[in-house]
Every structure is written in C-alpha cells, then in structure tokens.
Amino acid sequence: MKMLKLATLLIACALPARAEINIQTVTSPGGITAWLVTEPDIPFTALEIRFRGGTSLDASGKRGAINLMTALIEEGTGDLDSVAFARARDSLAASYSFSADQDSVGVSARFLTENRDQAVDLLRRALTEPRFDVDATERVRGQVLAGLRQDAKDPRTLANQRLREMAFGDHPYATTGDGTIDSVSALTRDDMVTAHLASIARDRIYVAAAGDITAEDLGPMLDTLLGGLPPTGAPLPPRAPMNLTGGITVQDFPGPQATVLFAHEGIKRDDPDFFAASILNEILGGGRFSARLMTEVRDRRGLTYGIGSYLIGYDQAEMLMGQFSSANGTVGQAVEVIRDEWRKIATEGVTEAELEKTKTYLTGNYPLRFDGNGPIAGMLVGMQMIGLSPDYPKTRNAMVEAVTMEDVKRVAATLFREGDLRFVVVGEPEGVTSTD
Amino acid sequence: MLRRTLALCLLAATPALAEDVTTFQLDNGLEVVVIEDHRAPVVTQMVWYRTGAADEAPGLSGIAHFLEHLMFKGTDTLAPGEFSATVEAQGGNDNAFTSWDYTAYFQRVAADRLDLMMQIESDRMRNLKISEEDITTERAVIIEERKQRTDSSPAALLQEQMRAAQFLNHPYRIPIIGWMHEMEALDRDDALDHYTRFYAPNNAILVVAGDVTPEQVREMAQTHYGPLAPSDAITDRVRPAEPPQIAERRLTLADARVSEPYVLRTYLAPERDPGAQEQAAALTILAELLGGSGQTSLFAQGLQFGVNPVAVYASAYYSGTALDDGTFGLVVVPMPGVDLATAEAAMDDLITTFIDTGPDADDLARIKTQIRASEIYARDNVDGLARRYGEALAVGLTVQDVQDWPNVLEAVTAEQVVEAARDTLNRDRAVTGWLMPEAEAAE
C-alpha cells in the first residue's frame, strides 16, 4: 500500500541520531557537582536536586517520618512561618516542590532570572533551617493521614502494597514510605529533626540545572544553596531481597472492575543486557498502541482500557511489572492472555520487523524527551542517580541500535518467566482465586 | 511592607507577548495556527474539531468520544492500527482527547516528519473506514474505560450526578464518556453520522508548534489539507440554553469505597466570551484568592489554619475556556470528627465575609505577580501553548482573545472580583454534593 511504502522510505532517512543537547558538568568551589544545560531563551532556571536514600532511611518504628518531614520543608523557616514563607515565595513567583520516594528526597525548583538570588536564598533557608512548627506539623500530618485512609480504599494502592509485602521481606521497600496511621500519628518534632539530618546531607546530593544560567553563576550558587547542609546522613539501605513467587493473590474489593498488578524479578540498569530487555519490554508492554499486550488485551478483545508493563529499577531491587483493570467477569481471560504472551515471547522471541520498528521508535523518540528546561533538568538528575555519564544522551541510541536478534532471543528466554509471575487481583473477579 | 514592595517592583512591565504565533486560513475553511519554538528539533501537530460531547444527537451520549477511539482504525489507505504504527515508526507519540466542546488529535515527532503526520491526519479527516468488528471491540474498550474512570470512583460518580443536576437543559449535563445504557447501544451508523457531519476542514483548527516556520506549515497544509472538501452541514453551535435557575439543588452519594467524606459545590458560571473576557478573568482570580494556595488562600486560612481547623483540605476551581456557561467549584474535606454540615457552613461564612470585605490588596498583587510569571514559565512548554490556542479557538475565542488574556487578568480590580463573587456564588444556581461513606450516611 502507498502509505506503507512511504513510511518505510522515511525510516531509511536519517533519524536524529542523538539528543542535541550540550551538557556541562559544573563543580562548585566547595566541591558540589551539577550537570547543566544553558538555554538563555527564556529568563528562568529549572533546578532539580535529589538526596539519595529517601523514605528507605526511616528509623525503626518511625515509618513515614521522612515523608512527613519532606512535606514540612515548605512550611516555614527561620523567622518565616508557613504563611510568611508562602507569601515570600509567591512574591518572587518562584516555585519549589519537595517530594520523597523510596530512593530519594527530591527538590524541584524554578525561578526567574530577575530575582534568582532571592529565590535561591529562600530555598536555601527552607532546606537548611526548616521550622517544623507544631501547628504546621499537625495540619500536614492530617493531610498525610487522610491520604492513608484513602489509600486503604484505593484498589491500585492496595494491589501495590500487597505486591511489595510479598516481594521485599523486611526491607523498607516492603511498606509504603507514607507510613501507617499509627506510625504517622506517633511522630514527634524530634523525629522530624532526625529525619531531616538523616536524609538531607551533602554526601548524597545530585543536582541538575537547565535554563537561563551559566556555569559561572551556577558554581557559587551550589555552595550558597547546599554548602550549609551537614556533610553526611544516615547509611543507605542494603540490597533488597526478591521473594515474589508465581501465583495469584486475590483481595476482595467492591466495584465493577478488578485492578491487577503482575510482576516478577527484573533486570539491573547496569546489566549488559539492559537495552535488550528494554526493547523486549517495549515490544511486549510498551505504552504504544501497537505493543503486544495493548493489541491482544485491548484492541483485539476489548478486555481493558489500557495495559502496560515496565522495567522498574529501584536503587536496591528490580522488577518487571505490569498493570491493567478489567471487568470482574473478564479479568480471568485477560490473565490467561498475558500468560500466553509471556510464554510466547520467552520461547519464540520477536520478529525482525518488531525489533527494527521498536529500535526506530526508541531511537526516534529519545530526542523528543529533551523539550524544555523543566524536562531536561529532570532527565539530567535522573541520569546521575542511575550512574550514567554526561555523554549518555549522545551514546544512548547507538547502544539501542547495537542490540542484535541473538541478544533479544537470549534475554527473552531468561527475562520472561511465566511461571514466576505473581498476579495481585483486587476486586471481585469471577473464576479467579488465590493460589496460595 | 517588604512583601508589597517586592510584588509591585517585580515584573512591573506587562511582558510583551513572548510566543511567536502566526495564523492563516485555507480556502476550504481550515484555520491554522503556527507557534514557533526552535529550541529543539521537535514538532507537535494538533487537529481540533469544533465538536464534542455537548454536540451529540439526543440519546447517543458518548458518541463523540467513541468516534475519537474509532479514528485510530483504518482509512482508504491505512489499515486499522496503522495510523499509530506509522507515528511510532517515526519515533513519535500520538493520542487524542474529547471534551464537551471539542475533540482533538495530536502527534509529537521529530520536526522533519511533519509532512507525513499531515498526510495521515488529513487522510482521516474525511476518509475514515469503520468495520462492524471495530465497533464491537472498541465499544467494549470504552465500556471498560467508563468502568475504570467513573464507575470505580465514587468521586467521579458524584461529579457526574452533580453535573446532571447543575445543567437543567444544556447538554453539558451529559457525561463525555456517555451514560452506560446509551454507550452499550452505540453503533456504526451513529459513529459515521457524527463523523460525516462534524469532521471537515471548515470545522477544524490545525495547530502546529515547534521547530517549524509558518511558510513550511502553509505549504504542507495546502498540500495535504487543502484538497479536502468542506462540509455543508456545519452550522452555528447553538445548544439548548439554560432556563433561569431558581432553586438550589442538593444531593448525597454514599458509597462503601469512600474514606474521606467531603462537600463539593458548583455554581453556574459565565465563560470567556470573544472580546469580553473580563468576568471570566475576575472569576479566575476569585478562584485563586479563595483556594489557590494551601497556605495563603482564604480557604486555607479560614478552614485549615487556626486553633480549631475545620478542614484537612479546601480549594476552589474555575476554568472559563468553554463555549457556553460552565461552573465555578468549591471543595472542602473536613477534619475527622467535623461533619459535612459544619464544614459547609464554615465555607459559606467565609464567602459571605469575602463579599463584604473584598480581597486583601497584598493577596491580589501576589496573584497577579504569579500570573505574569506564569507567562514566562509557559513558554518552556510549547505543547502547552499549542493546547492553549487550540482549545480557545475550538470554543469560539480568537487568537487575539488568547493574547489579550494575560492583560485582562492583569486589569482585574478588587471591586470586579467582589462583583463576580456576588453574581456567581448564588446558591439558587448551585448544586451541593455530599460524598459519604455508606455507614455514615445510614445513621
């Protein structure tokens, strides 16, 4: 057909082979390193900071401390209470957001060139001298507790928690970093101070900036912003176990659909076969409409609105995980389709056409992600967290291209283990029961 | 005060319109907007149709959204699924969305792939092919979508019920996804009728944003969209209008899946009109003053702070970009132990006080500072700009209206905000919804 020919021709033309960005590394006089993309077109800077460790650094019996502490960073510093701090920030039209996940505490900031020094100084004060006022703590604690009560009635969260419990033994990954009603209710101001010292320190900092700022300006700014933090924090958690076994776990929950997570062990980010695994996962469960699971479960059978699978790389564990929702009456059929696809890709691999198309997609799509100061800063800090070098955007596509059919076949046979898949089904599924 | 001085000095000059926008129209009526951003070799194409869920034939709720799904099936020259496969083969991403006033399709690709994107997007503007099999499986998909997004969510169900109560006559009362019993009966003819009537160059807006020049877009658009015949079925978009709303409506939805009860209030509210956006601008600022900040807004201060706070969370929301009158919304999630009646009364007291006393001058100045800065930050996201223009044009606003909007917001006075609050926050034209856990509602 006419269309097909044209599409094929265009593939043969040169795709943008690499992301056209120029990453500088900047080391401050005080020894803090950051990655920078200078882009002066728009007069603002996007800044991303990560502190490795995150909620996994919660002390014993204090689950949720780092999460609550992180939420309190924007609730006042020094002589500014939470309202005064918010007014000062908003008057500068700066934005700061603070978040915590199982591997890091994150700071995302953006500020205008015209008041950069003031915006950075205010952020410094928040990060280094949070007040942890009693009234602000109670208000934010109330919000965290409300979130926990909602989680207890959210099928997706329930499935996730069940899967973590089964997978990660007594590692912090086994429970949510938000904590429990009991643990969060019991947290004190001292716990906040301890959590702050444990998780926000100079020995675990990753920084990226993009926008209207030069290396000359960024260097001293890093020391101003972060130089006053304590040199060391709490020890990082050990490697997590992987205790998932094959089978089905059903948890009863009312509603028209069952929500399903399915997973087994994944692959390390620095494994030489990681790119082959990425390509395989993209073929099987990528977000594209033409991925196999999307085609088989949604397009051919109409069993779901959406399905996908992901290679998840935490600092201390890896999973290959997927998710979907399906009507209670059809969820069993969908599970069987997934099992079939899992077996099929492991035993038969993929076609030449699938491999080539997916490489074209992955290499062509990569440069599209670097579109804007905010996204670029986010990508750059993420790369540092997983140990990549600043030239990665220029070499990454070549590594995708280098994956051969033999690589893919070999990796598929070991990566996809249908017998090891654990399905967690939250709902009222018909004809699906727990296997253990 | 220092704060005030800062707010007044900063960004004192209204920023010159920063984004680089060009517009033109093809002979067949297709409107074209080009937004240049040459920072990265990337382009987004969006086609917005001036038709949505509020334009559906009676009894066919969900057909606009169903058709959106079916647009990814085949044409005379593309097999089912080949559209997305073609985009993906270029490393691109594509998707679509449906609202009450519009249906939009987009692709994001390397800039040198724009011509191919225009070829396939223009192809499906007039040449869609749908089989009975497509209908059967895709209808199952949208039914799963409804179950996932609406029927599995008490919050979504409450909003759906409130909307149906808010609009007595206007089709905004109908859910975009459709009522289940009508979705189950949607068929091929329904989809094709909607398609043939509404999908045509003279009912569409093409927005191209990214690393491209207006001249390039004009040439490609002329080649691909230029030959398409306009539809003669496009008429003025006059929907059934609301009668005067004279009685408050209240409803309660109880569901075992609710953990945090809350009160939601929506008022019938005017939207942005071409050349007359002042009232919508005042409402936009009103929403910011009432609920735009978790620390400094009126609701945060009045409901969440203090010795005996009433609420865990409270907010206000309003979006004026619509063809017809929409809603202004308020939400309060009470503290455990505070009942919904108490929380609602506290919220209403705050509104009464606000209408009496007006906004704090510092608060208003700070919000305007943030609005001015948001125009700078917005330029970092060219896709966001594409959506801003596409949506506005799809609901009958003009490029001039979009470009005037920051200045209209800037000019809003404290008196106008109070007047907007007094006019709009009238419970005779409001729906109040209580979301409750089942056990509590039964008591």
**Mean pLDDT by groups of 10 residues along chain B of 443 residues:** 34 51 97 95 96 97 98 92 90 95 97 95 96 95 94 96 98 98 98 96 98 97 97 93 97 95 98 96 98 95 94 96 97 96 98 97 96 94 96 96 96 98 98 89 53
- Residues in chain B with CB shorter than 8 Å from the CB of A98 are none
List Cα–Cα distances, A284 to A269, A279, A309, A436, B361, in angstroms: 19, 9, 8, 28, 57
Q: Where among A196, A226, A256 does a domain terminate?
A: A226
For the cut 50, the answer to whether the pLDDT of residue A10 exceeds it is no
Give the pairing type, strands B103-110 and B262-269.
unpaired
Whether residue A6 is contained in a domain is answered as no
Residue A21's pLDDT is 83
Residue B223 contacts A where some CB pair is shorter than 8 Å: no
Q: Both ends of chain A: CA-CA distance in Å?
A: 52
Quote the longest CA-to-CA distance of chain A.
71
Q: Which two tokens stand for residue A143?
A: 């919000």
SS3 content of chain B, % helix, strand, coil (to 5): 45, 20, 35
Q: Which two tokens stand for residue A227?
A: 């130089």
Answer whether A152 sits within 8 Å of B144, measured CB to CB: no
Whole-angstrom Cα distance, residue B224 to residue B22? 19
Q: In this structure, are A204 and A59 located in the same domain?
A: yes
Q: Which two tokens stand for residue A91?
A: 């008057």
Residue A325 contacts B where some CB pair is shorter than 8 Å: yes
Residue B223 amino acid letter? T
> By C-alpha distance, which of A244, A234, A300 is closest to A422?
A244
Residue tagged active-site, from B31, B68, B182, B344: B68
Residue B288's pLDDT is 97
Q: Which residue is closest to B123 within chain A, CA to CA?
A: A3
Q: What is the SS3 assignment for B110?
A: strand
Whole-angstrom Cα distance, residue A411 to residue A278? 10
Q: In this structure, are A182 and A274 located in the same domain?
A: no
Whole-angstrom Cα distance, residue B378 to residue A263? 39
Q: In this structure, are A371 and A282 located in the same domain?
A: yes
Q: In this structure, are A254 and A207 located in the same domain?
A: no
Q: In this structure, are A386 and A263 located in the same domain?
A: yes
Chain B closest-CA separation from residue A134 CA (Å): 11
Whole-angstrom Cα distance, residue A54 to residue A200? 9
Residue A15 contacts B where some CB pair is shorter than 8 Å: yes
Q: In this structure, are A262 and A164 located in the same domain?
A: no
Whole-angstrom Cα distance, residue B166 to residue B432? 9
- Distance from the Cα of residue A291 to its chain's centroid: 22
Whole-angstrom Cα distance, residue B40 to residue B110? 9
Phi, psi of B279 (to 5 degrees): -65, -40
Whether residue A11 is contained in a domain is answered as no
- Distance from the Cα of residue A223 to its chain's centroid: 27
Whole-angstrom Cα distance, residue A237 to residue A59? 11
Whole-angstrom Cα distance, residue A62 to residue A358? 45
Q: Report pLDDT digits (tens) over A70-79.
A: 999 999 999 9
> By C-alpha distance, which of B186, B141, B72, B257 is closest to A326?
B141
Residue A289's pLDDT is 80
Instruction: Find out whether A301 and A337 touch, Cβ atoms under 8 Å.
Output: yes
Q: Where, residue-wise, is CATH 3.30.830.10 in chain B?
A: 20-224, 249-442
Handedness of CA A77, B363, B322, B21 (dihedral sign): negative
Task: Tell me what the mean pLDDT of segment A135-155 comes to.
Answer: 96
* Model confidence band, residue A16 (pLDDT cutoffs 50, 70, 90): very low
Q: In this structure, are A282 and A147 located in the same domain?
A: no
Instruction: Give the containing element (helix H, strand E) for A145.
Output: helix A134-151
* Model confidence band, residue A143 (pLDDT cutoffs 50, 70, 90): very high
Whole-angstrom Cα distance, residue B303 to residue B349? 10
CB-count burial class (<10 Å; 0-12, 13-18, 19+) for A229:
buried
Residue B89's pLDDT is 87
Give the one of B88, B119, B259 whose C-beta lies nearest to A149's C-beta: B259
Q: What is the SS3 assignment for A103?
A: coil
Q: Which two tokens stand for residue A382?
A: 């993420």
Whole-angstrom Cα distance, residue B299 to residue B305? 9
Whole-angstrom Cα distance, residue A333 to residue A246? 18
B68 catalytic per annotation: yes
- What is the percent of chain A where pLDDT is above 90? 92
Whether residue A296 is contained in a domain is answered as yes
Instruction: Find out whether B185 and B13 touch, Cβ atoms under 8 Å.
Output: no
Whole-angstrom Cα distance, residue A404 to residue A424? 34
For the cut 70, the answer to whether the pLDDT of residue A12 exceeds it is no
Q: In this structure, are A360 and A218 located in the same domain?
A: no
The domain of A331 spans 247-427
Whether residue A383 is contained in a domain is answered as yes
Instruction: Find out whether A166 and A16 touch, Cβ atoms under 8 Å.
Output: no
Give the one of A254, A289, A371 whose C-beta lies nearest to B40's C-beta: A371
Q: Where among A197, A226, A255 does a domain terminate?
A: A226
Q: Which two tokens stand for residue B211?
A: 């690393």
Query: The CATH number of B20-224 is which of 3.40.50.10470, 3.30.830.10, 3.40.1350.10, 3.30.1360.200?
Result: 3.30.830.10
Residue B184 contacts A where some CB pair is shorter than 8 Å: no
Q: Which two tokens stand for residue B326?
A: 């929409």
Handedness of CA A117, A122, A126, A130 (dihedral sign): positive
Q: In this structure, are A423 and A314 located in the same domain?
A: yes
Whole-angstrom Cα distance, residue B318 to residue B157? 20
Instruction: Give the containing element (helix H, strand E) for B416.
Output: helix B414-424
- Distance from the Cα of residue B224 to its chain's centroid: 29
Handedness of CA A352, A354, A356, A359 (dihedral sign): negative
For the cut 60, the answer to whether the pLDDT of residue A19 exceeds it is no
* Model confidence band, residue A377 (pLDDT cutoffs 50, 70, 90): very high
Whether residue A308 is contained in a domain is answered as yes
Residue A8's pLDDT is 35
> By C-alpha distance, which of A148, A155, A234 is closest to A187?
A148
- Residues in chain A with CB shorter than 8 Å from the CB of B141 are 298-299, 302, 304-305
List Cα–Cα distances, A187 to A87, A177, B33, B90, B308, in angstroms: 28, 14, 54, 52, 20
Q: How many domains does chain A have?
A: 2
- Residues in chain B with CB shorter than 8 Å from the CB of A143 are 312-313
Handedness of CA B131, B136, B137, B142 (dihedral sign): positive
Q: In this structure, are A121 and A267 located in the same domain?
A: no
Whole-angstrom Cα distance, residue B138 to residue A305? 9
Answer whether A91 sits within 8 Å of B369, measured CB to CB: yes
- Mark A162-188 as b/e (b = at least 16 C-beta within 10 Å): bbbebbbeebbbbbbbbbeeebbeebe
Q: Report pLDDT digits (tens) over A65-100.
A: 999 999 999 999 999 999 999 999 999 999 999 999
Whole-angstrom Cα distance, residue B209 to residue B20? 10
Whether residue A217 is contained in a domain is answered as yes
Q: Which two tokens stand for residue A152?
A: 């207890």
Q: What is the mean pLDDT of chain A?
A: 94
| B283-286 contact pairs (CB < 8 A, 24+) | B283/B318, B283/B320, B283/B328, B283/B420, B283/B424, B284/B318, B284/B320, B284/B409, B285/B364, B285/B367, B285/B368, B285/B409, B285/B412, B285/B417, B286/B316, B286/B318, B286/B328, B286/B417, B286/B420, B286/B421, B286/B424
For the cut 60, the answer to whether the pLDDT of residue A15 exceeds it is no
* CA R_g for chain B: 23
Task: Tell me what the mean pLDDT of segment A107-121 comes to.
Answer: 97
- Assign residue A180 the CATH number of its domain: 3.30.830.10
- Residues in chain A with CB shorter than 8 Å from the CB of B149 are 305
CATH homologous superfamily of B249-442 equals: Metalloenzyme, LuxS/M16 peptidase-like (3.30.830.10)
Answer whether B379 sits within 8 Å of A139, measured CB to CB: no
Q: Which two tokens stand for residue B19?
A: 């984004």
Whole-angstrom Cα distance, residue A318 to residue A242? 8
For the beta carbon of residue A419, count every other beta carbon within 10 angstroms: 12
Q: In this structure, are A258 and A405 located in the same domain?
A: yes
- Mutation target for A interface from B88, B130, B134, B137: give the one with most A CBs within 10 A: B88
Residue B90 contacts A where some CB pair is shorter than 8 Å: yes
B9 or A205, greater pLDDT: A205
Q: In this structure, are A197 and A276 located in the same domain?
A: no
- Residues in chain A with CB shorter than 8 Å from the CB of B258 are 153
Residue B178 contacts A where some CB pair is shorter than 8 Å: no
